[in-house]
């Protein structure tokens, strides 16, 4: 049954939730409520967005007639919150990452299947016009066979909210792999055509986790919390194999003694290749006797952001292109990165059907 003007509640009234309210309202949804156990977060959010606040999803569900929720909590709560919503008849848009373990991501995917409700992963970077345009060019055959890709996001100094939930493995799942690596991993995988991951060889390091001694210019996601927890990695390198023979290298850091590398995707095909670094997309190919490099201009307005896509799916105008299965595939790579690093060897990936 199409929902023309979806009524939405936000779960988690923190930083990213602001863009969810703005994006969902711009997409024609009514954002009417928020749930967050912390009074200060609720009060700030209500003041800005004029919604009704509740202390929990259960309380919000009981009091409001909602069609959907948007999950904006710390990572470890994504799956339980999404499952609770799906089991109670609500559609779900879930922030990245899907979860903090493959088992929980599978549980969330299965709850979506069983409920018949929409479970959409909020992988925003694959909705960037550059990713969508590169995928369209791939479908036209521009790249030929994409056989290798590189995804990187390296910060020289950029640990978020040190000592808080971002650097606490039990809540975040991991460090930069979960925070920023997943963005470039997902968008690069999306441009590759979403091949099935089969194995990962990876290493993670934790070298900058001393909260008192960490040197930086400033810290986003809140000031450092002395005496807090910082038990996540701060650097990871991975090599992923896919069932179509393609491979991907991933490099990600919150802190490293090397230059910054901004959010980079590179794909290599046997007919052409591409890089997307920050804003700029470049294509690499050949024509007759010439080796060509070109920068592309195109109509960006034909592509929907994640909020417009979610609203269109609820209205029955689109089929979800960022599914629970995609979340499980990405989560399987995240889990394998840590498992490979722990075992010191390549590990196989098995994705539950």
Ligand X SMILES: NC(=O)c1ccc[n+]([C@@H]2O[C@H](COP(=O)([O-])OP(=O)(O)OC[C@H]3O[C@@H](n4cnc5c(N)ncnc54)[C@H](O)[C@@H]3O)[C@@H](O)[C@H]2O)c1
**Applying CB under 6 A, does 251 fall inside the site for ligand X?**
no
- Locus of tokens 């105008």: 317
Residue 285 CB, nearest distance to ligand X (Å)?
A: 32
Rounded Cα gap, residues 232 and 245, in angstroms: 31
Q: Could you say which of 6, 8, 13, 127 contacts ligand X (CB under 6 A)?
A: 13
**Applying CB under 6 A, does 174 fall inside the site for ligand X?**
no
Which is nearest to 77 in space by CA: 174, 12, 159, 10? 12
Rounded Cα gap, residues 239 and 251, in angstroms: 9
Rounded Cα gap, residues 199 and 30, in angstroms: 42
Q: Count Cβ atoms within 10 A of the Cβ of residue 259 and give its class: 0-12 exposed, 13-18 middle, 19 or more buried.
A: exposed
**Applying CB under 6 A, does 14 fall inside the site for ligand X?**
yes
Residue 187 CB, nearest distance to ligand X (Å)?
A: 11
**Applying CB under 6 A, does 104 fall inside the site for ligand X?**
no
**Applying CB under 6 A, does 204 fall inside the site for ligand X?**
no
**Applying CB under 6 A, does 11 fall inside the site for ligand X?**
yes
Decide whether 96 or 109 has the Cβ nearer to ligand X.
96
Q: Could you say which of 9, 33, 73, 347 contacts ligand X (CB under 6 A)?
A: 73
**Applying CB under 6 A, does 41 fall inside the site for ligand X?**
yes
Decide whether 35 or 135 has the Cβ nearer to ligand X.
35
Stretch that binds ligand X, among 12-20, 207-215, 316-324, 335-343 (CB under 6 A): 12-20
Q: Could you say which of 29, 53, 61, 75 contacts ligand X (CB under 6 A)?
A: 75
Which is nearest to 164 in space by CA: 221, 98, 96, 80? 221
**Applying CB under 6 A, does 124 fall inside the site for ligand X?**
yes
**Applying CB under 6 A, does 37 fall inside the site for ligand X?**
yes
Axis-axis angle for helices 78-87, 102-115 (nearest 10)? 20
Which DSSP helix (H) or strand (E) runs through 120?
strand 119-122
Q: Could you say which of 6, 8, 9, 12 contacts ligand X (CB under 6 A)?
A: 12
Q: Could you say which of 49, 61, 91, 96 contacts ligand X (CB under 6 A)?
A: 96
Decide whether 107 or 201 has the Cβ nearer to ligand X.
107
Stretch that binds ligand X, among 34-42, 102-110, 197-205, 228-236 (CB under 6 A): 34-42
Dihedral angle computed from the Cα positions of residues 332, 338, 339 and 344, in that order, rounded to the nearest 10 degrees: 140
Rounded Cα gap, residues 124 and 137, in angstroms: 20
Residue 4 CB, nearest distance to ligand X (Å)?
A: 26
**Applying CB under 6 A, does 77 fall inside the site for ligand X?**
yes
Residue 140 CB, nearest distance to ligand X (Å)?
A: 28
Residue 178 CB, nearest distance to ligand X (Å)?
A: 7
SS3 269: strand
Residue 34 CB, nearest distance to ligand X (Å)?
A: 9
3-state SS record for 290-329: EEEEEECCCCHHHCCCHHHHHHHHHHCCCCCCCCHHHHHH
DSSP string computed for 158-180: --TTTBSGGG-HHHHSSSHIIII
Output the six-digit token pair for 84: 């609770």
Axis-axis angle for helices 15-26, 306-315 (nearest 10)? 50
Which positions lie near ligand X, rule CB under 6 A? 11-17, 35-38, 41, 72-75, 77, 95-96, 124, 221
């Amino acid at each position: 049954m199409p929902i023309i003007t979806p009524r939405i509640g936000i779960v988690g009234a923190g930083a990213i939730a602001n863009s969810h309210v703005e994006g969902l309202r711009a997409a024609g949804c009514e954002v009417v409520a928020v749930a967050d156990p912390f009074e200060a977060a609720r009060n700030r959010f209500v003041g800005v967005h004029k919604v009704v606040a509740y202390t929990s999803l259960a309380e919000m569900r009981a009091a409001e007639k909602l069609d959907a929720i948007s999950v904006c909590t710390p990572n470890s709560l994504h799956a339980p919150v999404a499952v609770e919503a799906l089991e109670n008849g609500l559609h779900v848009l879930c922030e990245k990452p899907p979860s903090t373990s493959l088992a929980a991501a599978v549980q969330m995917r299965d709850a979506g299947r069983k409920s018949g409700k929409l479970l959409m992963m909020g992988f925003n970077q694959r909705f960037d016009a550059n990713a969508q345009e590169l995928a369209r060019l791939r479908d036209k055959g521009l790249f030929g066979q994409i056989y290798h890709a590189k995804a990187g996001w390296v910060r020289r100094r950029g640990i978020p909210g040190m000592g808080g939930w971002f650097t606490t493995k039990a809540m975040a799942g991991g460090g930069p792999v979960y925070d920023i690596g997943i963005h470039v991993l997902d968008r690069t995988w999306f441009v590759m055509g979403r091949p099935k991951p089969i194995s990962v060889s990876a290493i993670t390091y934790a070298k900058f986790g001393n909260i008192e001694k960490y040197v930086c210019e400033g810290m986003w996601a809140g000031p450092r919390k002395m005496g807090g927890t910082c038990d996540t990695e701060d650097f990871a390198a991975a090599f992923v194999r896919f069932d179509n023979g393609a491979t991907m290298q991933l490099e990600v850091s919150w802190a490293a003694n090397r230059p910054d590398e901004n959010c980079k995707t590179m794909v290599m095909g046997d007919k052409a290749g591409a890089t997307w670094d920050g804003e700029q997309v470049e294509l690499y190919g050949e024509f007759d006797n010439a080796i060509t490099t070109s920068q592309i201009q195109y109509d960006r307005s034909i592509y929907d952001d994640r909020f417009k896509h979610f609203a269109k799916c609820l209205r029955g105008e689109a089929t979800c292109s960022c599914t629970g299965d995609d979340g499980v595939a990405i989560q399987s790579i995240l889990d394998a990165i840590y498992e490979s690093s722990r075992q010191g060897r390549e590990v196989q990936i098995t994705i539950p059907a």
